[in-house]
């Protein structure tokens, strides 16, 4: 598959995953529901600092993308608008686009997953994260090995952002954003 085909296929999957209510549109409430699902998987209350930060990262990401797509913060993105705005704001933006749009969510997820407080995600924390995203344990172990590019035994925000990028460009087959 070409990179464009892979990106489009993966964005279609992301759209379906984030369209939590299945109405063919992504709304702020859909991303909030996704964040709550992650919090539930970790037994984290939405009222803790980490819980609030995760909710805020997902809803702020939606609002940013909705504004850029021209539907406003309270609007909704249809499939075409979602794909176009991700292409424009994330993929064409390169590292800066991933940093602006993806990094806050990855950092917030890492902060929830980081149960030992070391600022990184270890193998067990990563497996729990991917289990919450619906990925089986064997695939999580394989992904951990691939993502841990420095061989430290834990994953940094930078390694995780690179993994999200690799997923969307077809060089890693593990979705990290739920």
- CATH number assigned to the domain comprising residue 127: 1.10.238.10
pLDDT surpassing 60 at residue 1: no
Is 107 a member of any domain? Answer: yes
Is 172 a member of any domain? Answer: no
Is 175 a member of any domain? Answer: no
Residue 38, CA distances (Å) to 32, 41, 130, 170 in order: 10, 5, 10, 24
Q: What is the DSSP string of 122-165?
A: EHHHHHHHHHHTT--HHHHHHHHHHH-TT-SSEE-HHHHHHHHH
Domain, as residue range, for 152: 3-167
Is 109 a member of any domain? Answer: yes
Is 178 a member of any domain? Answer: no
Is 176 a member of any domain? Answer: no
Q: pLDDT tens, 109-146?
A: 999 989 888 999 999 888 888 887 777 778 888 889 88
CB neighbours (10 Å) of residue 40? 12
Is 174 a member of any domain? Answer: no
pLDDT surpassing 90 at residue 28: yes
CB neighbours (10 Å) of residue 105? 25
C-alpha 89/C-alpha 112 separation (Å) is 26
- At 98 the pLDDT is 84
Least confident of 16-25, 77-86, 126-135: 126-135
Is 156 a member of any domain? Answer: yes
* Beta-ladder partners of 77: 26
How many domains does the chain fold into?
1
């Amino acid at each position: 598959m070409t990179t464009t085909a892979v990106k489009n296929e993966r964005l279609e999957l992301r759209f379906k995953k984030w369209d939590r209510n299945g109405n063919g549109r992504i709304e702020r409430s859909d991303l909030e529901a996704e964040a709550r699902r992650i919090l539930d998987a970790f037994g984290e209350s939405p009222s803790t600092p980490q819980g609030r930060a995760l909710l805020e990262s997902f809803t702020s990401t939606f609002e940013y993308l909705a504004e850029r797509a021209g539907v406003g913060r309270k609007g909704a993105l249809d499939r075409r608008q979602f794909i176009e705005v991700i292409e424009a704001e994330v993929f064409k933006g390169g590292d800066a686009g991933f940093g602006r749009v993806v990094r806050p969510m990855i950092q917030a997820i890492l902060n929830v997953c980081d149960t030992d407080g070391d600022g990184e995600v270890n193998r067990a924390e990563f497996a729990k994260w991917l289990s919450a995203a619906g990925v089986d344990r064997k695939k999580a172990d394989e992904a951990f090995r691939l993502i841990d590019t420095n061989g430290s035994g834990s994953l940094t925000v930078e390694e995780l952002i690179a993994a999200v990028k690799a997923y969307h460009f077809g060089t890693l087959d593990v979705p990290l954003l739920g």
